[in-house]
A and B are shown apart, each in its own frame.
Chain A
């Protein structure tokens, strides 16, 4: 790691101020991606602004038709939450499958979304459920949030404060992990919501995306069979030593079917 300054503000305002005054500052949430990146000397921020001291960023509330998760809430907390398990079991299951137990004890939803790693889990749920991302400045709809590989709609200094998930009629998430890293190689989050069926595919392409053809098919009949014969364009898939784009495109179909089955219980 390169040397940096460390700050642990207690308020959002202080956090924003600290980042603004840094030459090249970065927010630190769970650190499960940022710290490995720094250890490999792949980034050299001048300052790290640790968000974990800001009480209002942490916690889970379920009210009315939504589950709201604070940005620094650990994956393990989401996975273990009885309320989340009851309201959106697929979301709890997704959180319970991120990384490994130790990563889940540190990693946060805000950090995961701000980073938008193509192989991350949470983008699948956010896009699949049509969640709303609350930031220190505004609210951003899931469909507008993920803009590309490691790219989001977040502006410089903007902090995710919480994520609001509408409770769907039913939802399912299944992933096919990369055999080595166990990050997502192909994931599918399928949800039947008040605003229709949503199918988010993560891990497979450079950025999580909605599979419109599958959504249309499932809107007609919410069953695994409805997805039969739907192809995914390999041209839009990632390609690496673990999975060719053709294989990923094939897995999108298989995993999406399994996600539908999971949603149906």
Chain B
């Protein structure tokens, strides 16, 4: 049995018939072919799958596509506007905050949500707020630097 799910993803309205057990991340990756959002664990801990639903960060592996019915979803693919990178994307590149790049989409989406809630975060706040995102490459040093730089850029 399938159900029809409609949501707005990166500004585009999309409708698909899916099994009710379809997770939002599967909807994005498999039904929409948007593979920027990744899956790195099965226990909702790694954060590679973080997207924004109605403006706040969630783990798209721990929400059914059906629960996002009618929602506005933003993924890493939707951050750059008119060919211009989001300041947080720019900060990640400038500060070498990524190596293999696998955790990066989720990390950037979490970082943007973090800064929306804490426009001027301390290093300690950044480290604590990234609790839901694992990175195995960078040792977090440059991610923390990038988030602080990104926050500054977002403050303008």
A residues contacting B by CB (< 8 A) are: 1-6, 8, 28, 31-32, 35-36, 38-40, 48, 50, 52, 76, 80, 99-103, 105-106, 181-182
- B42 touches which one: A31, A39, A99, A105 (CB < 8 A)? A39
- For the residues of A in contact with B, the DSSP-based class is mixed
User: Which A-chain residue is minimally distant from B47 (CB atoms)?
Assistant: A102
Residues in A whose Cβ lies below 8 Å from that of B67: 28, 31, 50, 52
Query: Which residue in chain B gives the minimum CB-CB distance to A1?
Result: B21
Bound-state CA distance A220–B121 (Å) is 41
User: Does B20 interact with chain A (Cβ within 8 Å)?
Assistant: yes
Residues of chain B lying within 8 A (CB to CB) of residue A1: 21, 23
Partner of B62, one of A6, A48, A50, A106: A106
Q: Which residues of B contact A80 (CB under 8 A)?
A: 117
The bracket for how many chain B residues form the interface is: 20 to 34
Contact A31 B62 (CB under 8 A): yes
Stretch in contact with the other chain, from B8-16, B53-61, B82-90, B137-145: B53-61
| A102 in contact with B59 given A40-B42, A50-B67 (CB within 8 Å) | yes
Evaluate contact between A2 and B66: CB separation under 8 angstroms. no
User: 27 A-B contacts, Cβ less than 8 Å apart?
Assistant: A1-B23, A4-B21, A5-B20, A6-B64, A28-B64, A31-B63, A32-B44, A35-B23, A36-B42, A36-B44, A39-B61, A40-B43, A48-B64, A52-B67, A76-B56, A100-B47, A100-B133, A101-B110, A101-B129, A101-B132, A102-B50, A103-B62, A105-B56, A105-B57, A106-B58, A181-B45, A182-B131
| B3 interfacial by beta-carbon distance below 8 Å | yes
Does B123 interact with chain A (Cβ within 8 Å)? no
CA distance A97 to B99 in the complex (A): 29
Which residues from A are CB-within-8-Å of B77? none
- Check: B94 CB closer than 8 A to any chain A CB: no
Cβ contact within 8 Å between A101 and B57: yes
Bound Cα distance A39, B59 (Å):
14
Residue of A nearest to B113 (CB): A101
Is B114's CB under 8 angstroms from A101's CB? yes
